[in-house]
Structure formats: structure tokens, C-alpha cells
Amino acid sequence: MAINPAQIVKLMTAKREFEERHPRIVSFVRHELRPPLEEGTILEVTLTKPGKEPITSNLKIMAEDIELIKSLME
């Protein structure tokens, strides 16, 4: 699979814009998800849509997830 430089630039721009819009969540993710993230950690997310009841889901971090998270953090 070839790397498309235009797509990389587009993704980097979108990442920067997201960081500017949501600095608190970016700071949280950088602080809490940076290695060493331990296998067995539970990640829980609550989604609250306007006019809807909140829904919550979670996942238990597995060894394979840690490698993916490390790659995404780079």
C-alpha cells in the first residue's frame, strides 16, 4: 500500500484542528493513555446526545490493543 502525501497532510491538519478545538481531551489522552498502559485496564466511554439518555460502554485493554495505542500515539 502506497503512502499518499496529500492524505498525510490532510490528516495532520485535521489532527491539529481537533487539538485546538478540544485541548482538554487531548491533554487527558496524552497523560492517561501514554505507555506504560497496562493490560487489563478498563476504558469506559459515556456518550450523551442532545435530548437522549447517556449510554456507556467499556473495554478491557488487551496486549494487542497496547501495541495499536502505541502506534497511534506516535
**Domain of 57?**
5-73
Dist. CA 51–CA 4, nearest whole Å: 41
Closest to 45 in 3D by CA, of 29, 31, 30, 34: 29
Number of domains in the chain: 1
pLDDT digits (tens, 9 = 90+) for 40-63: 999 899 999 999 999 999 999 898
Largest CA distance in the chain: 44
Percent of the chain with pLDDT over 90: 46
Averaged pLDDT for residues 19-25: 93
Burial of 26 (0-12, 13-18, 19+ CB in 10 A): middle
Query: Can you give the pLDDT at residue 30?
Result: 82
